Chains A and B, each alone.
Chain A
């Protein structure tokens, strides 16, 4: 019973952390109509940033802010240079982003080597009854809730409504005076920043290596696909559920099976929504 409770709390916290990345991906697609297949690389960037921070003796959660900034800047650059010209062809844009992901993997191995690293916890552990949780995980989950809550509030502001208008129909939004291109760049950058922050939060749970971004990419895809086109709350709920499920599967079977679960779930959901879950998303 205690074990199950431990797994449940860990799964929930992991789900919330993954939700930051998944919601970022939903935003990017919803506003920009681009499937960011480099999303895993930004998560990896965040994890490596957290790793660097721990080398300075600090907690990995301290890497979330610099990771988010790095993700923001690089995301904006990628969007302007690669994504914007290819936006009319979603498959071409997705493929180009895969190319970026491959380049990122090479970059990571050049900078940090090909060996995997582990990110240590620096803050104390807490005991809740029989359940142990690290302070990092609690802070990460709290930060995740804050980010997602902040987004919910933002979407109700004037500029948030412009974002939703651009997501619903870019052409009409343009005619209404919304600078759709700038909004798309900003959203892409924010989405990548969120992915990087999520990577920093998730880093103690992952093996940090050049190809580490592939697994979180698939998890993000599964969460976005399952949560439903255009539903941030759906993606959030799916993230928590899938985080829970994958933690259970990883614990009671083996970690590779949680990855396989995410892959099969992505396949099943995309097919089930045969009108193309990635054809159209709204906010």
Chain B
């Protein structure tokens, strides 16, 4: 009951896409839903489990590229390809989670940033031969058939996926796994002394968040018609961090709602990229100073691997 109540705000995007008729508005709402899903995923790993990843764009991009490849080479129908983005995103998340599971928060932030940035650079370097003999890739990315074909269907699909995604994340947050994540976030030695496998919980958080981001990536690629290195850049991760920091880290719904609203507003008003970046920067700084973020980040993350033999304390 509590989860349903907390997920209720997600019905607003669903209601909006049925109420709105304007095609531009619908395409804005579709993109906002994908963005909100991405940020909700970040909040599971960065907020609920206390792992401030700066590389959440890696599973996003992985999902986008996977969906584009699968659809482009006709390996699966388009909807399956988009859903398959969740698998690719989950694997990318698993990689980041495994690499960062024993690191301090600052080191984790650096490693996740570096892995996403390396993926972006690699994707901007490699080119592929595409069906039809086209050479694609590099900075312009890989083309995809736009799906669904009209804005209303795209918006409704994205809103539905957002509702389901947020509800699922809320359910996870309220489950035993969610309690384990929060315990690990609070104090990983306490978690270990409670019998919780800290590394496994941290990796799981990355896998789930990565799957959600990958799904958002597949959706975004389908709606924009392209998977590109820009999806792997630092900006999406910073946006997620900033929004989650000020909208209630760990609450899932708060960051999702804030991301949805901000993205829709910025797209609707057609705010230039320069101002968006400035806004992102201001949000980041505000988020760093935000009391909820400060209190949230104050939890010191220890590494709960045992001190090995003959090592310095």
Contacts and interface: CB of A to CB of B under 8 A. Distances in A.
A271 B52 contact: no
B135 interface: no
5 contacts: A95-B284, A106-B278, A218-B117, A270-B103, A271-B99
Nearest to B285: A99
Contacts, number: 128
Nearest to A89: B297
Contacts of B102: 274
- Which residue among B110, B124, B242 has the maximum number of chain A CB atoms within 10 Å of its CB? B110
B202 interface: no
Interface string A48-64: 00000000000000000
Contact of A91 (B105, B111, B125, B303): B105
| Size bracket of the A interface | 35 or more
B274 A106 contact: yes
A91 B278 contact: no
Nearest to B312: A275
Given A274-B305, A276-B303, A278-B104, A96 B285 contact: yes
A93 B107 contact: no
Interface residues of B, number: 44
A159 to B, nearest CB: 28
Interface of B: 52, 54, 99-100, 102-107, 109-111, 114-115, 117-118, 121-122, 124-125, 234, 238, 241-242, 245, 274, 277-278, 280-285, 287-289, 293-294, 297-298, 303, 305
A263 B117 contact: yes
Contacts of A109: 274
B114 A91 contact: no
Given A90-B105, A102-B278, A266-B114, 6 more contacts: A35-B110, A92-B289, A95-B288, A96-B289, A256-B125, A267-B99
Given A89-B294, A102-B284, A279-B104, A263 B118 contact: yes
Contact of A103 (B106, B107, B278): B278
A100 B107 CA distance: 20
B297 A91 contact: yes
B238 A98 contact: yes
Nearest to B52: A91
A254 B263 CA distance: 37
B107 A277 contact: yes
A256 B121 contact: yes
Interface string A243-279: 0000000000010110110011011001100111111
A271 B287 CA distance: 27
A98 B106 CA distance: 13
A interface majority secondary structure: helix
Given A95-B241, A263-B114, A102 B280 contact: yes
Interface in A213-258: 214, 218, 221, 225, 254, 256-257
Contacts of A271: 99-100, 103, 111
B290 to A, nearest CB: 9
**Which 4 A-B pairs have CB atoms at the shortest separation, nearest pair first?**
A99-B284, A276-B104, A102-B281, A96-B288
B34 to A, nearest CB: 22
A85 B286 CA distance: 13
Given A92-B294, A275-B303, A102 B277 contact: yes
A94 interface: yes
B124 A85 contact: no
- Which residue among B122, B245, B285 has the maximum number of chain A CB atoms within 10 Å of its CB? B285
Given A98-B238, A102-B281, A103-B278, A279 B298 contact: no
A136 interface: no
B110 A93 contact: no
Contact of A98 (B100, B278, B284): B284
A140 B58 CA distance: 37
Contacts of B293: 92
A142 interface: no
Contacts of A102: 238, 277-278, 280-281, 284
A260 B116 CA distance: 11
B282 A99 contact: yes
A256 B274 CA distance: 25
B250 to A, nearest CB: 15
Contact of A279 (B107, B294, B305): B107
Nearest to B116: A263
A164 to B, nearest CB: 19
Contacts of B117: 214, 218, 263
A96 B284 contact: yes
B198 to A, nearest CB: 13
A131 interface: no
B111 A267 contact: yes
B245 to A, nearest CB: 8
Nearest to B305: A274
A87 B100 CA distance: 23
A94 B281 CA distance: 13
A91 B109 contact: yes
A276 B103 contact: yes
A45 B122 CA distance: 27
